[in-house]
Structure 1
Amino acid sequence: MSIAKTYTPADVEAKWYQRWQEQGFFKAKANPRKQPYSVVIPPPNVTGVLHMGHMLNNTIQDVLVRLARMQGKEACWVPGTDHASIATEAKVVALLKEQGIEKKDLTREQFLEHAFAWKEKYGGIILEQLKQLGASCDWDRTRFTMEPELTEAVLRVFVDLHQKGLIYRGIRMVNWDPQSQTAISDEEVIPKDVMAKMYHLRYAVVGAERLDNGAENPEKAHVEQAEFSGLNSQFLVVATSRPETIMADVAVAVNPNDPRYTHLHGAKVRIPLLGREIPVILDEYVSIDFGTGALKVTPAHDLNDYELGVKHSLPVIDILNNDGSLNEKAVLYVGQDRFAARRNIVKDLEEAGHLVKVEEYASIVQTSERTKAVIEPRLSMQWFLKMEHLAKPALEVVESDQVKLHPAKFKNTYRVWMENVHDWCISRQLWWGQQIPAYYLPDGTYVVALTPNEALELARTQSGNANLQLTDLRQDEDVLDTWFSSWLWPISVFDGFKDPDNADINYFYPTNDLVTGPDILFFWVARMIMAGLEFRREIPFRNVYLTGIVRDAQGRKMSKQLGNSPDPLDLIKQFGADGVRTGMLFSAPAGNDLLYDEKLVEQGRNFCNKLWNAFRLTQGWEVDATLPFANNKAVEWFTAKLQTTLVELDDHFEKFRISDALMTVYKLVWDDFCSVYLEMIKPAYQAPIDPETLRHTTGFLETLLKLLHPFMPFITEEIWHELAERGPKDYVCVATWPKQQPVAGAPELLARMDKALDIVAGVRNIRNQKGLGPNKPLTLAAKTDDAGLLTDYDGIIRKLASLTEISVVDAAPAASVGFVSGGAEFFVPLEGQIDLGAEKERLTKELEYAQGFRDSVLKKLSNEKFVANAKADLVERERQKLADAESKITALEQSLAAL
């Protein structure tokens, strides 16, 4: 049999993926004879392409699904994509602009035609890329959140919740994206660190005496708030980072306990430039110690100000248009963009003597994830879903571990969110998405219905006007938040709303495991739990595995914008899918961020090469049928090692320690099988091997391929088929997961082999220290009470340590170097092996150097000033140097004594 010298991933990955699909291994159907195992993919945006976060998340999902498939379960991994309202609409609008078409010149229907055409062309790219990673999804089940069946499910849910009184329409403060001109959710808001400016402005106190020449003399007017005191204070100084919003001010708030402003209780002040009078209100919300202690209140443009306004029954003045420009209510700078208006008003305030000072400070601005525009807190008429009713049971199932979070530390985060839940703004001012099924009558009232015809019947009944026609009704222009479709995902992908009693939903729901990021624990995970309990009276999944964020070596989140993220497909081309998968998982414990290092992916590729070379080695041996079984000790040991490791591995999987599971298999294959077992049984150069040893070894290799397959699907399938003739359905992809078969006396067997291998390590250390080659014949003398160990493992110790003889002695032989292992002393005679005189001279020089180094460290540590003034970690390093030097001196002295 001809086996390629090197493993080339590109030669095998597409081949095996195609064959898996041809064999239908990824397809799943309701099968009462098997235990169901289902996973729904966190649907990536149709605008998306594969990034490092997708790589990690989907690798973990694939590991779990492939494991379940091998365990004999009916494994169903449902793929799909999210329509991503804001991101997709922005892409389509940009594409239309390139073609000279403006959205405003299109009807809604025309725009949606363009959008669906874009989706058909580009929307499936990321799913095709997942195939290159090896994702074993049931592609026949691919869903899209805006396909007709799933859209109908969304609308049914809206109607149902509205009928229950849980959905309402009202004016509330929202995150407004002026660029996309829509409200966006909290999870679509990205904080950005910036250096901002704080502007201190003078508000004239109504009725107070005028400060001489104040307005005409900016220099004289440029004074601190502390200079104004008593009833004759001319001005109140207010600090703001957004001076362009002062035209929307309706009050200035001070703390009633602030002695600086006692004289202003009940007073009024004038807004700079505008001159409009506004009251000074009292509220303990205002911090006495922050800024000037005076807070401008702008209810239309700040959430906290809005709550103050509600509390004090203040009016609301919204001075911004949808695109962030100032409207007529601003009076000044009408039509100017908010940031242009800021520049102009600061200039005018300074010229008019109203600007006291400007300070720079580190701040955070909220930006839109999709457009990068600075978010405006804004009062807007929107649709909302009451969350308190839904949140309580969703919290209880997590608190009681009916839904388990992995790691469990996220239960605290989940609890805080759920106990402080706010109503969900579910409407978006877009065209791409599910249009809200609310229909307005000519008198401004509305009805909510699944279809226009149902809405017409309701409207006729509600209005008492039987002559109403469809043309008299106007459907709400808004669409629903994308999350309002994805929160139904575990139910809707199995058509649980279309047919609540169909075979798939009854068999595959609840799903088993969800793999996602902690950043959407509330925004998606919690909402899916709410939906599951509300509409199926069941949790949607039993386990939630929360991955960390993939970061670079500097701890920064990987992103295309920063340029610190490699292209995953380039990595796959360079290192192979298996190498990338294992490299990502080497340092990816649940809930903790992964510091990406390309060396990990290189190590993944090296692991593939190690496995391939081990396979080639075993297949290159000739078999002599006349030879007796010669490696029973090695076989017994690895059998016990394999079974012990399988117990550990299954425990890791059960507890969702995926990274630990990989490292357990990695050590078993690299260290125990390749580096130890194969060395134990490997025949001499060009010598044959006995058939029984090869049979056991091939069996071990097959088992290892099964254990590795969930992590490394491609190379394991390739070796599986190279290892033996296989039937048409005999693939490692669907092979039976190894079952635990305890080995009698395994702990003692493993412990004794460890002792034997420790002896081998001692001899190898001496070879390294003395510059003796690995194959130079040596002898070993042992002073031990356990001569049986040497007898039982004589062949293994002599072979691995390249010894010609092992003997038991009462004293150390002359001219020997020794080591201690397991309470016994071992000696390697070196007479004739090395120049003893030269060795003594070399060791003496090393000893003198080590003693000199120790003395220099001692001198430093005996210096009281150094110990008292140096940093603690520096002193500790010096003490460690001393300890290391002492150990080396002791070893050198023992070596000299032996010579």
Structure 2
Amino acid sequence: MKRDLPKTYDPSSVEKRIYEKWESDGCFRGIRDPEKKPYTISMPPPNVTGQLHMGHAVDNTLQDILIRFKRMQGYAALWVPGTDHAAIATEAKIVEAMRQEGLTKADLGRDKFMERAWEWKEKFGNRIVKQLRTLGSSCDWEREHFTMDEQCSKAVLEVFVNLYEQKLIYRGNRMVNWCPKCQTSISDAEVEYEEQNGHFWHILYQVKETGEFLEIATTRPETMLGDTAVAINSEDERYKHLHGCHVILPLINKEIPIVCDEHADMEKGTGVVKITPAHDPNDFEVGLRHSLPVVRCFTYDGHMTGEADVKEYRELVESGKAADDEPEVLDCGKYAGMTTAEARKAVLADLEALGILKETEDLKHDVGTCYRCHTTIEPMVSKQWFVRMKTLAEPAIKAAEVGDIKFVPERFTKTYLNWMRNTRDWCISRQLWWGHRIPAWYCADCGETNVAKEAPCKCAKCGGTNLSQDPDTLDTWFSSALWPFSILGWPDKDSEDYKFFYPTSTLVTGYDIIGFWVSRMIFSGLAYTGKLPFDTVVIHGIVRDSQGRKMSKSLGNGIDPLEVIDQYGADALRFMLVQGSSPGNDMRYSEEKIVAMRNFTNKIWNASRFLLMNMSIEKVELPKELELEDKWILSKLNSLIKDVTYNMESFDTGVAAQKIYDFIWSSFCDWYIELAKIRLNGEDEQKKNNVQNVLCYVLTDILKLLHPFMPFITEEIYQALPHDSGYLMMQSWPEYSESLSFPEDEAKMEKTMETIKAVRECRAELKVPNSRKANVTIVTAVPDMYDAAKSFLVRMASASEVEVITEENDSLTGMVSTATADAKIFLPLKELVDTDSEKARINKELEKAYKEMEFVNSKLNNESFMSKAPEKVVASVRENEAKTKALIEKLQEMLASLG
């Protein structure tokens, strides 16, 4: 039903109302329709601890653009939302709340703690999904999932047990990232690197066999107590005489071997490196290659090991419960019980006293810290659960190599392949309570590990009932790796959603988690479902501040998207995040850009109001007789539809947005509406009716093209226009039509527009007010192309009369002229300006231009400048010369025309 629009557009009064109507009327539901092709997106699940930030805003805006586009194209479109349990972050928040009450996890016990955690999740965990609604996210909220809900948990158990039975999951002592404060291993993605001031300490190790000293540099001297070798490169001529020799480890006078290994870089430092397999990931790999002992000298809470730790280790060994790869534990003697920071000072003091601390070198280096508590991460050998990656990675690597999965932009395929080809076994256990508990039960009678989907009543090996479940939980990424298929019903392969909507279609995500999440979803999909989880990965960059800096709490430069939406509206924010952006590249937020987008919404709103105020039609139908300007705008619109559709299908949403913006602002608002006013204000009712139909037809298609980007304002305007029924978001996407392509008429109109712009520019240079009209003479070899220009020049270029001729004549003498590609346009200068004052103005401009030319020539004639200046600088000066010369010629011509 047709209705008027308010004078001004107020997003706050529109967006919430429209969204609630869309949702209540089921517009977001993904319907399994066998007559349609499915298009599925699984939302990268934000943390339940999260609050909407600019990263979420750009990620979900891009997904919403794609899902709205595909929905309008006629696909059975489904966007599945959900949240991640975010084990470390959530547990940290709950523990902190308990601490303020004077409680610890131990005080509550595991069951009571989990009750409290679920209560916290129900109270605070849905905040971000509510915030996503303010952005306009058209998800199927009825299908919302949580990584610890019953369905996702079922998938986790299925995968863990199957991998264990295939011997692709194992438990062992391996190198992990360890947070001494959180008391858990953490993933690489949860390590944040901070640039810190540090040192290289150069320490002398004496060779047992020769008595000489080897210089070794380290940033962590406290780890030397756990050294089990030093390494040299077998090709290093400096140390060939030391092959098979040993060094005496300082401070504890322990003999350790010199090994030959490629890890020792001949080009770096002295080419000799200390090997501490228990506390450095590279050293751990060296240790494996040379069967070196693994000696732990740190406790898991960040102290140096001592007698009690050694006793505990020995009891474990003697009981037969120690694994073959259990690391030895060192009694650090006088350093035992010190924090690692305290031990560093003490070790350095002792080395200096012994005269073997040769040098201290300052440096800045990146130090890994826990993303949650910011404690320095300790690489530690720890008993954890791991997934063997080699077998799982191979099919996932091949899928990208043969093009079965595509990254947009393509350069990120290399990032993905580099990660997959160099992946190590994946540590999947965490020393937390909140999360999926590892489904492994240990028999106290025989030591058997029982892995099952449900708690066993007795040990599968000895029949004993003295079973205890592993206290650890699974890495959050383990469950999120299953996300694209677990949310659709897998492992129930008969699930209707799974059969219809899987594999999903497009994943939209940032480049920073290609390795941590994207790669794991790909290998998981292939390994567990036999299918890739999606066919295309669209990568976006991050939103930086106006200075190009990453937004962070420490810099205080973060922008809250909810505050932006409150002030400018969701449509303005969405369009700002997309317009002109390109896949994979970072973008900048600026107040100027968001204001410009707000102005764009006002431009659309005002143009729509103008149309409605001048509209009397109840149904839109293109007239059979079209004027030149009608054919022009329809042909331009037709080309726009073709281009935008191609860009959208190529995931160039930023390019599509820019084309729509340019068309609306310039072609439709600045030109066609102004041209249409001639007929709207005329007396011919049929012409009025015709132009109303064209205006409404074009505006309706504009709204459809713009809708995925600006869903709220387009829906609000659409409901005020004549239409059959329903919501704009459920209408069909416009399609290119040969019948609406008018290339010749489009070209003719473009020439007319060039003429209008040329006259306008000429009048502006002469500072002639619009109210002062004058005759316009057009000289052209193609007069037919300019016949239609007459009425438009009168309306849009302040012309009183327009004459089109084929040759110049004496009557044009004394007129000022301007030109287009096919015509020369003359205006009677004496009728437009005060001759004397205009001469004075031009002479003043000429004087300024002559001075500029003199300055330019002084540079171009300076041999020193021309030989020494950078090529770009010289090119800029030459460009300035050409511009100044053209200006002088133009001013001289104008002066001559004044007589």
Shift of 1:493: 0.6
2:634 aligns with one of 627, 636, 639:
639
Q: Is the 8 A contact 1:640 1:743 kept in 2?
A: no
The residue identity in structure 2 corresponding to 1:894 is: E
Query: Structure 1 residues 660-669 or 682-691, which shifts more?
Result: 682-691
| Structure-1 residue corresponding to 2:751 | 755
The residue identity in structure 2 corresponding to 1:61 is: Q
| Structure-1 residue corresponding to 2:527 | 534
Taking a change above 3 Å as real, the CA distance of residues 266 and 366 of structure 1, as seen in their structure-2 partners, is: same
Between the aligned partners of 1:154 and 1:303, the Cα distance in structure 2 is 28
Between the aligned partners of 1:237 and 1:397, the Cα distance in structure 2 is 47
| Structure-1 residue corresponding to 2:139 | 137
Shift of 1:561: 3.2
| Structure-1 residue corresponding to 2:808 | 811
Q: Is the 8 A contact 2:438 2:471 kept in 1?
A: yes
Between the aligned partners of 1:188 and 1:659, the Cα distance in structure 2 is 31
Between the aligned partners of 2:247 and 2:373, the Cα distance in structure 1 is 38
| Structure-2 residue corresponding to 1:545 | 538
Confirm whether residue 373 of structure 1 aligns to residue 375 of structure 2.
yes
Between the aligned partners of 1:26 and 1:332, the Cα distance in structure 2 is 67
Confirm whether residue 301 of structure 1 aligns to residue 279 of structure 2.
yes
SS for the counterpart of 1:838 is: helix
1:671 aligns with one of 639, 662, 666:
666
Between the aligned partners of 2:820 and 2:885, the Cα distance in structure 1 is 21
The residue identity in structure 2 corresponding to 1:754 is: E
Superposition map of 1:119-198 within 5 A:
119-198=121-200
Superposition map of 1:305-316 within 5 A:
305-316=283-294
Query: Structure 1 residues 355-364 or 706-715, which shifts more?
Result: 355-364
Taking a change above 3 Å as real, the CA distance of residues 166 and 281 of structure 1, as seen in their structure-2 partners, is: closer
Taking a change above 3 Å as real, the CA distance of residues 271 and 332 of structure 1, as seen in their structure-2 partners, is: farther
| Structure-1 residue corresponding to 2:318 | none
The residue identity in structure 2 corresponding to 1:820 is: A
Q: Is the 8 A contact 1:630 1:693 kept in 2?
A: no
Superposition map of 1:584-733 within 5 A:
584-621=577-614, 632-683=627-678, 690-724=688-722, 727=725, 730-733=726-729
Q: Is the 8 A contact 1:587 1:594 kept in 2?
A: no
| Structure-2 residue corresponding to 1:212 | none
Between the aligned partners of 2:155 and 2:680, the Cα distance in structure 1 is 69
The residue identity in structure 2 corresponding to 1:41 is: M
SS for the counterpart of 1:357 is: strand
- Report Cα offsets for 1:140-159 as digits up to 9, x if no partner: 11100001221121011100
| Structure-2 residue corresponding to 1:800 | 796
| Structure-1 residue corresponding to 2:348 | 346
| Structure-1 residue corresponding to 2:863 | 864
The residue identity in structure 2 corresponding to 1:489 is: W
Taking a change above 3 Å as real, the CA distance of residues 405 and 622 of structure 1, as seen in their structure-2 partners, is: closer
2:452 aligns with one of 428, 449, 453:
449
Shift of 1:518: 1.7
Q: Is the 8 A contact 1:82 1:145 kept in 2?
A: yes
Between the aligned partners of 1:508 and 1:623, the Cα distance in structure 2 is 45
Shift of 1:118: 1.1
SS for the counterpart of 2:17 is: helix
Q: Is the 8 A contact 1:586 1:600 kept in 2?
A: no
Q: Is the 8 A contact 1:629 1:691 kept in 2?
A: no
Shift of 1:246: 1.3
SS for the counterpart of 2:848 is: helix
Taking a change above 3 Å as real, the CA distance of residues 35 and 254 of structure 1, as seen in their structure-2 partners, is: closer
Between the aligned partners of 2:822 and 2:607, the Cα distance in structure 1 is 35
Q: Is the 8 A contact 2:277 2:285 kept in 1?
A: yes
Between the aligned partners of 1:756 and 1:263, the Cα distance in structure 2 is 88
Shift of 1:738: 1.5
Query: Structure 1 residues 270-279 or 157-166, which shifts more?
Result: 270-279
Query: Structure 1 residues 578-587 or 685-694, which shifts more?
Result: 685-694
Taking a change above 3 Å as real, the CA distance of residues 766 and 266 of structure 1, as seen in their structure-2 partners, is: same
Shift of 1:764: 0.4
| Structure-2 residue corresponding to 1:94 | 96
Q: Is the 8 A contact 2:546 2:590 kept in 1?
A: yes
Between the aligned partners of 1:735 and 1:685, the Cα distance in structure 2 is 29
Between the aligned partners of 1:420 and 1:238, the Cα distance in structure 2 is 28
Taking a change above 3 Å as real, the CA distance of residues 508 and 265 of structure 1, as seen in their structure-2 partners, is: closer
After TM superposition, the score normalised by the length of structure 2 is: 0.92
Confirm whether residue 478 of structure 1 aligns to residue 472 of structure 2.
yes
Q: Is the 8 A contact 1:640 1:750 kept in 2?
A: yes
Shift of 1:836: 2.1
Taking a change above 3 Å as real, the CA distance of residues 856 and 180 of structure 1, as seen in their structure-2 partners, is: same
Shift of 1:119: 0.9
Confirm whether residue 429 of structure 1 aligns to residue 431 of structure 2.
yes
Taking a change above 3 Å as real, the CA distance of residues 793 and 523 of structure 1, as seen in their structure-2 partners, is: same
- Report Cα offsets for 1:557-594 as digits up to 9, x if no partner: 22233211111100001110000000111132111111
Taking a change above 3 Å as real, the CA distance of residues 359 and 98 of structure 1, as seen in their structure-2 partners, is: same
Confirm whether residue 492 of structure 1 aligns to residue 486 of structure 2.
yes
The residue identity in structure 2 corresponding to 1:718 is: E
After TM superposition, the score normalised by the length of structure 1 is: 0.92
Shift of 1:868: 2.7
Shift of 1:137: 0.7
Confirm whether residue 514 of structure 1 aligns to residue 507 of structure 2.
yes
Between the aligned partners of 2:240 and 2:719, the Cα distance in structure 1 is 88
| Structure-2 residue corresponding to 1:271 | 249
Between the aligned partners of 2:742 and 2:337, the Cα distance in structure 1 is 82
Shift of 1:2: 5.2
- Report Cα offsets for 1:690-718 as digits up to 9, x if no partner: 12211221222122111111111111111
Taking a change above 3 Å as real, the CA distance of residues 683 and 3 of structure 1, as seen in their structure-2 partners, is: farther
Q: Is the 8 A contact 2:49 2:125 kept in 1?
A: yes
Confirm whether residue 61 of structure 1 aligns to residue 57 of structure 2.
no
Taking a change above 3 Å as real, the CA distance of residues 278 and 535 of structure 1, as seen in their structure-2 partners, is: closer
Q: Is the 8 A contact 1:552 1:595 kept in 2?
A: yes
Q: Is the 8 A contact 1:51 1:568 kept in 2?
A: yes
Between the aligned partners of 1:391 and 1:135, the Cα distance in structure 2 is 34
**What percentage of aligned pairs have identical amino acids?**
42
Between the aligned partners of 1:706 and 1:66, the Cα distance in structure 2 is 10
| Structure-1 residue corresponding to 2:730 | 734
The residue identity in structure 2 corresponding to 1:547 is: H
Between the aligned partners of 2:48 and 2:774, the Cα distance in structure 1 is 67
SS for the counterpart of 2:278 is: helix
- Report Cα offsets for 1:768-818 as digits up to 9, x if no partner: 100012343122112111111221333223322121211134326132111
Q: Is the 8 A contact 2:781 2:822 kept in 1?
A: no
The residue identity in structure 2 corresponding to 1:709 is: H
Q: Is the 8 A contact 1:622 1:687 kept in 2?
A: no
Shift of 1:311: 2.5
| Structure-2 residue corresponding to 1:557 | 550
Taking a change above 3 Å as real, the CA distance of residues 100 and 387 of structure 1, as seen in their structure-2 partners, is: same
1:569 aligns with one of 562, 570, 588:
562
Between the aligned partners of 2:680 and 2:843, the Cα distance in structure 1 is 40
Taking a change above 3 Å as real, the CA distance of residues 284 and 423 of structure 1, as seen in their structure-2 partners, is: closer
The residue identity in structure 1 corresponding to 2:344 is: R
Shift of 1:58: 0.3
Query: Structure 1 residues 250-259 or 681-690, which shifts more?
Result: 681-690
Shift of 1:638: 1.0
Shift of 1:734: 1.1
Aligned length: 861
The residue identity in structure 2 corresponding to 1:693 is: V
Between the aligned partners of 2:233 and 2:702, the Cα distance in structure 1 is 71
Between the aligned partners of 2:539 and 2:421, the Cα distance in structure 1 is 21
- Report Cα offsets for 1:587-641 as digits up to 9, x if no partner: 321111112222222121111000011011122237699xx99972222211111
- Report Cα offsets for 1:275-331 as digits up to 9, x if no partner: 333333344532234223322111111122122222332211111111221111222
Query: Structure 1 residues 634-643 or 9-18, which shifts more?
Result: 634-643
SS for the counterpart of 2:31 is: coil
What's the C-alpha RMSD, in Å, of the aligned pairs? Answer: 2.2
The residue identity in structure 2 corresponding to 1:311 is: R
Between the aligned partners of 1:660 and 1:886, the Cα distance in structure 2 is 37
The residue identity in structure 1 corresponding to 2:852 is: F
